[in-house]
Amino acid sequence: MKFIRIFMNDSYGNEYSLKLFSGGKLSTTQYALFAIQIAVVILLSWLGVIATPVVGPGIGFLYWAYPFFIVFTWWWGLWGVLAAFLGCFIGAGLLTGLPLIPSLAFSIGDLVPALLVLLFYRGFLNKIGVDPLGRDITKKKMSAFWFVFWVMGITNIIGGLWGVWVLVQLGFVPANAYWYGAGLWILGDAIVLIIAPFLARALTPIVERFGLTTKGIIS
Amino acid sequence: MSDTMAERKNREGQKKYLKTILFSAKADSVFVNLHPFTKFALFFILSIAVILAMTKSHPDLVFSLIVFIVVLALLLESGTLKYVIKSYLSLLFVAFIVFLIWWLIFNQIGNSILFSMHIGNYYFKITRESLYVGVAKVFGYAAMAFLTLLILMTTRDVDIVDALNQLKVPFKQTFFISLIFRSLNIMEEDLESIRHAQFARGGKAAKKNPLSRVKEFLALSIPLTALMIKRAVEMGSALEARGFSKSKKLSEPVVKKRIGSADYLAIIFSIIALYISITMNVTNVLGGHIWTSLL
């Protein structure tokens, strides 16, 4: 119960929180930015599938969009989560020839990790002193631990297990190959996630300076 | 995704090709001129039909093959088959081969052995049954992959906006979606420009080591994100200068698509295909067991 109270508590010392509309109305620049960042994630998801080795049916090894939508989720809350979902659905799904239903089910595998990262960073981790925008991962051991444990570990594993399970259910991946496929998926994503802390450290000050981050999870 | 064919015109000055989400398609094609709702319904219903055919205990190879041939014919009719061959064939070929290999390795079923070998303690065999299942899965996947490409290569972003308007989706949401599709080409060009600039400054081409590729991608990702923010700021100012925040609706499209007889025919075809996929196994009806024994 204590954990849940901490998780749901909105009175953080930090200005970033789990409130829906902390920043008031969205500006036109933010409106354009959120559309463009979704386009970027779609583009990178597409490149992640067509320009990297395909190691299994529907499984590209280096999924370049992953670190981007994690950083975008830190910066822009639910808009980053939406980019994760649409990027996977359109970029890694439809644009590579994966059909509608598999693409939709498959993209849950990106939506859930992004959502869990958002909730944990803006909620619990923010409360215990970890930067919700991921700037301190390369500086503080505790932040690095939570990044490895939560982002590269738990959420990535959930996404990988779900994604390959969907492919098995739809008859794309043989049931016997489930653990092998999931292992490759998780390993590939963990490798590309290495760039997320560097991206956050280099670019967060610029995004903040332009006033483009969302203090709440929508605005 | 950008293509000069989109600009090609005939002697009367009419466009022969229209720019679509992926590449471009014949302006006078029947399939291109179907209503977006019809294309979406066709896409959705046929995908379900093929998935059902693929996931049967004895996958329906003939059904998937028929859908595959129909889709190929539609790609030809819409003038988009050449783009599939030029841009996607090698990618899809690799995907199909990987698909088949996985089904042969991880689906060790059947007793009619065509090939077998020992790799250490692992006994690997290819049987008539496993080969049949593998080929049926590949054709099912191929039918769906080509169907997806057909839809994307014959639909314009304007069609989507028009369809959303007809569904009475609010202006800001519709514009947001159209902005996503329009930004795709812009950001792709930006990404190419950054890569060329890096090569011109001595950046190396892709390496095989995954960690080296991550390092290389990091060098690409920071300018890409910075450029994305710059574009958004510019676009935001341009939108505001045109009174975007006060606007209530999009301007009316020049050509509005209406649902016609070709749309009804396409929907009827897809519903019949779904009905067949649910109620029967076409391969078995046509004597599929005999074919398997011929392998």
**A172 vs A170: CA distance, rounded Å:** 6
Q: Is residue B251 domain-resident?
A: no
Residue B13's pLDDT is what?
58
Both B135 and B166 in one domain: the answer is: no
- Lowest mean pLDDT, pick from A58-67, A143-152, B142-151, B202-211: B202-211
A-facing residues of B in 206-265 (CB < 8 A) are 210-211, 213-214, 217-218, 221-222, 224-226, 228-229, 231-233, 235-237, 239-240, 244-245
Amino acid at A114: A
* Helix (H) / strand (E) containing A195: helix A195-209
What is the token pair recorded at B31? 């399939």
- Lowest mean pLDDT, pick from A31-40, B133-142, B201-210: B201-210
Q: Is residue A16 domain-resident?
A: no
Both B169 and B204 in one domain: the answer is: yes
Please indicate whether, in this complex, the C-beta atoms of B44 and A199 are within 8 angstroms of each other. Answer: no
Residue A9's pLDDT is what?
43
Q: Is residue B254 domain-resident?
A: no
Residue A11's pLDDT is what?
42
- Lowest mean pLDDT, pick from B121-125, B207-211, B259-263: B207-211
What is the per-residue DSSP string for B27-94?
A: TT-TTTTS-HHHHHHHHHHHHHHHHHHHTSSS--HHHHHHHHHHHHHHHHHTT-HHHIIIIIHHHHHH
Residue B208's pLDDT is what?
60
**A78 vs A117: CA distance, rounded Å:** 11
The torsion region of residue B120 among left (phi > 0), alpha (psi -120 to 50) and beta comes to left
Residue A165's pLDDT is what?
92
**B97 vs B95: CA distance, rounded Å:** 6
**B8 vs B206: CA distance, rounded Å:** 35
More confident residue, B119 or B263: B263
Amino acid at A107: S
Contacts of A86 in chain B (CB under 8 A): 180
Q: Is residue B215's pLDDT more than 60?
A: yes
Please indicate whether, in this complex, the C-beta atoms of A171 and B54 are within 8 angstroms of each other. Answer: yes
Residue A10's pLDDT is what?
42
Both B182 and B150 in one domain: the answer is: no
In the block, which residue shows the tokens 């960690």? B211
**A153 vs A162: CA distance, rounded Å:** 14
Q: Is residue A1's pLDDT more than 50?
A: no
Both B151 and B201 in one domain: the answer is: no
Residue B73's pLDDT is what?
96
Q: Averaged over B159-165, what is the pLDDT?
A: 85
Contacts of A85 in chain B (CB under 8 A): none
Both B109 and B57 in one domain: the answer is: yes
Q: Is residue B253 domain-resident?
A: no
Q: Averaged over B263-292, what is the pLDDT?
A: 89
What is the token pair recorded at B285? 């009806």
With an 8 Å Cβ cutoff, is A31 touching chain B? yes
Relative to beta strand A59-60, strand A54-56 is antiparallel
Q: Is residue B8's pLDDT more than 60?
A: no
Q: How far is B45 from chain A (nearest CA, A)?
A: 10
Mutate to test the interface with B, among A30, A34, A42, A43 (most CBs of B within 10 A): A43
Residue B280's pLDDT is what?
93
Are A78 and A17 contacting, i.e. CB atoms less than 8 angstroms apart? no
Residue B5 DSSP label: G
Number of Cβ within 10 Å of residue B211's Cβ equals: 10
Both B131 and B75 in one domain: the answer is: yes
Task: Tell me which residue range forms the domain holding B63.
Answer: 4-155+259-294
Percent of chain B predicted with pLDDT > 90: 27
Both B92 and B10 in one domain: the answer is: yes
The per-residue pLDDT for range A63-113, each reduced to its tens digit, is 889 999 999 999 999 999 999 999 999 988 887 767 777 888 889 999 999
Q: Is residue B159's pLDDT more than 70?
A: yes
Q: Is residue B9's pLDDT more than 70?
A: no
Q: Is residue B288's pLDDT more than 80?
A: no
Q: Which chain A residue has the Cα nearest residue B88?
A: A96
Contacts of B147 in chain A (CB under 8 A): 99
Mutate to test the interface with B, among A25, A27, A31 (most CBs of B within 10 A): A31
Exposure string for A73-83, b = 16+ CB within 10 A, e = fewer: bbbbbbbbbbb
Across all residues in chain B, what is the average pLDDT?
84
**B208 vs B228: CA distance, rounded Å:** 28
Please indicate whether, in this complex, the C-beta atoms of B184 and A42 are within 8 angstroms of each other. Answer: yes
From A100, A175, A195, residue closest to B217, measured CB to CB:
A195
Helix, strand, coil shares of chain B, percent, nearest 5, are 65, 5, 25
Q: Averaged over B168-182, what is the pLDDT?
A: 86
The per-residue pLDDT for range A22-35, each reduced to its tens digit, is 767 888 888 899 99
Are B20 and B156 contacting, i.e. CB atoms less than 8 angstroms apart? yes
Q: Is residue B148's pLDDT more than 60?
A: yes
Q: Is residue B252 domain-resident?
A: no
CATH number at residue A182: 1.10.1760.20
B192 — pLDDT class (breaks 50, 70, 90): confident
Both B138 and B276 in one domain: the answer is: yes
At residue B22's C-alpha, the angle toward residues A92 and A163, to 5°, is 10
Q: Which chain A residue has the Cα nearest residue B234?
A: A29
Both B104 and B126 in one domain: the answer is: yes
Q: Is residue A13 domain-resident?
A: no
**B273 vs B268: CA distance, rounded Å:** 9
Residue A3's pLDDT is what?
47
Percent of chain B predicted with pLDDT > 70: 86
Q: Is residue A104 domain-resident?
A: yes
Both B55 and B116 in one domain: the answer is: yes
Both B128 and B96 in one domain: the answer is: yes
Domain count, chain B: 2
B-facing residues of A in 86-105 (CB < 8 A) are 86, 94-102
What is the per-residue DSSP string for A60-97?
A: ES--THHHHHHHHHHHHTHHHHHHHHHIIIIIIIGGGT
Are B295 and B132 contacting, i.e. CB atoms less than 8 angstroms apart? yes
Contacts of B106 in chain A (CB under 8 A): 173-177, 180
B68 — pLDDT class (breaks 50, 70, 90): very high
Residue A149's pLDDT is what?
96
B209 — pLDDT class (breaks 50, 70, 90): low
Percent of chain A predicted with pLDDT > 70: 89
Residue B14's pLDDT is what?
60
- Lowest mean pLDDT, pick from B1-10, B134-143, B239-248: B1-10
Relative to beta strand B113-119, strand B24-26 is unpaired
A6 — pLDDT class (breaks 50, 70, 90): very low
Q: Which chain B residue has the Cα nearest residue A91?
A: B184
